[in-house]
Amino acid sequence: MRHAFPLLVLLALPACHGAGTTALAEPEARTEPSVLARVTPKSPSARGHVGGDPGHAGRGTALAPRTGHELAAFAAGCFWGVEETFRQVPGVVATAVGYTGGHTDAPTYPAVCSHTTGHAETVLVEFDPTAVSYATLLNVFFKNHDPTTKDRQGPDVGDQYRSEIFTFSPAQAAAAAAAKAGEEATLKRPVATRVEPIGAFWMAEDYHQQYDEKTGNRSCPAPQGLPVQGT
Q: What is the mean pLDDT of the chain?
A: 82
* pLDDT tens digits, 105-148: 999 999 999 999 999 999 999 999 999 999 999 999 999 999 99
Reported as a pLDDT band with limits 50, 70 and 90, residue 72 is: very high
- Does residue 14 lie within any of the structural domains? no
The pLDDT, as a whole number, for residue 47 is 59
Q: What is the CATH number of the domain that holds 117?
A: 3.30.1060.10
Q: Residue 101: which domain range?
A: 37-218
pLDDT, tens digit (0-9, with 9 covering 90-100), for 86-114:
999 999 999 999 999 999 999 999 999 99
Residues 6+ away with beta carbon under 8 Å from 229: none
Q: Determine the distance from the C-alpha atom of residue 185 to the mean position of all C-alpha atoms in its chain, rounded to a whole number.
A: 23
pLDDT of residue 16: 65
Q: Is residue 80 part of a domain?
A: yes
pLDDT per position as a tens digit, 28-71: 333 333 322 333 334 443 456 899 999 999 999 999 999 999 99
Active site residue 16: no
Please tell me the distance from the alpha carbon of residue 20 to that of residue 43, in angstroms, as a whole number.
Answer: 38
Q: Is residue 12 part of a domain?
A: no
How many folded domains does the chain comprise? 1
